[in-house]
């Protein structure tokens, strides 16, 4: 049940897409002086050593952030994201990759707060170590993010970005993300929500985007990045997607600029591509 560890996948193509958008969401909320919260249902360890045995075993970062590392032609939004990665690699070598909560924290202000959930016993220890210096600004919970999220909504400042990012190791995760978003919209309809999901040949993965659109939210964006043709044996993740509720009005145009570039740089064969759809008012 709790075998997934993000260290094996840190900095891969899915992280690039997810963190590119997360940076944009966090920057947008920082435009107003009023505080906001960042809530993460599956926070992981928070930071990952890319030269560790876990990261080196699959080396997925090489076909993700590694392909962007030395480029000088990055679109503005990608350059912003990569600057945060460079900041924790000051010698110019790509050795450390921050996860979602650390990237968000790098942008957030003193008045903003993080509430992080993680169930994996080893990951939550590392998460606490990574955030212990930030006191009450960043509180780590060793609990089920799906079950615990609803108790924090709406947050006191009535502004938040919520990341729902399960590993989808269990089939029920596909039902839980839909049900969680539905309940979140009931409790806190004005929050900004970002759901990550994998592109796999499994039926439940194929059906998830349509199920999300049936939530009938009034403001949403759905973006996918496919880096290769699905394997003939059905094995492995060939891409990933994000479903964003209440996105910034600027995000769609940003993605229209960035996604063709990402396909060109991260694409591994002729099956690479992207989709972008939404309803933003």
Question: Which residues belong to the active site?
Answer: 165
Contacts 24+ apart (CB under 8 A), 229-236: 229/269, 229/270, 229/271, 230/199, 230/201, 230/271, 231/201, 234/201, 236/200
Q: If you search the block for the tokens 């099956």, which residue do you land on?
A: 271
73, with CB counted inside 10 A (0-12, 13-18, 19+), is exposed
Sheet holding 113-117, edge to edge: 138-141, 113-117, 37-40, 160-164, 192-199, 239-245, 220-226, 273-279
| DSSP β-ladder status, 96-98 and 113-117 | unpaired
Partners of 275 in beta bridges: 224
CB 84 within 8 A of CB 34: no
């Amino acid at each position: 049940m709790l075998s997934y560890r993000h260290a094996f996948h840190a900095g891969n193509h899915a992280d690039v897409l997810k963190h590119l958008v997360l940076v944009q969401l966090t920057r947008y909320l920082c435009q107003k002086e009023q505080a906001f919260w960042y809530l993460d249902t599956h926070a992981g360890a928070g930071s990952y050593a890319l030269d560790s045995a876990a990261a080196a075993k699959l080396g997925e970062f090489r076909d993700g952030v590694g392909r962007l590392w030395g480029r000088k032609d990055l679109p503005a939004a990608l350059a912003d994201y990569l600057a945060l990665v460079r900041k924790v690699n000051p010698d110019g070598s790509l050795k450390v990759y921050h996860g979602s909560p650390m990237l968000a924290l790098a942008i957030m202000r003193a008045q903003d707060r993080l509430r992080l959930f993680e169930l994996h016993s080893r990951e939550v220890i590392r998460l606490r170590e990574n955030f212990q210096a930030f006191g009450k600004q960043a509180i780590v919970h060793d609990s089920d993010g799906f079950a615990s999220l609803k108790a924090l909504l709406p947050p006191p400042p009535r502004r938040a970005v919520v990341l729902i990012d399960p590993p989808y190791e269990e089939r029920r995760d596909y039902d839980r993300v839909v049900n969680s978003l539905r309940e979140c919209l009931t409790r806190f309809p004005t929050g900004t929500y970002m759901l990550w999901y994998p592109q796999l040949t499994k039926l439940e993965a194929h059906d998830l985007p349509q199920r999300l659109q049936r939530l009938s939210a009034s403001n949403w964006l759905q973006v996918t990045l496919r880096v290769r043709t699905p394997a003939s044996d059905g094995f492995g993740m060939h891409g990933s997607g994000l479903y964003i509720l209440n996105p910034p009005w600027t995000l769609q145009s940003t993605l229209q600029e960035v996604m063709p570039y990402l396909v060109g740089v991260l694409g591994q064969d002729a099956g690479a591509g992207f989709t972008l759809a939404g309803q933003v008012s």
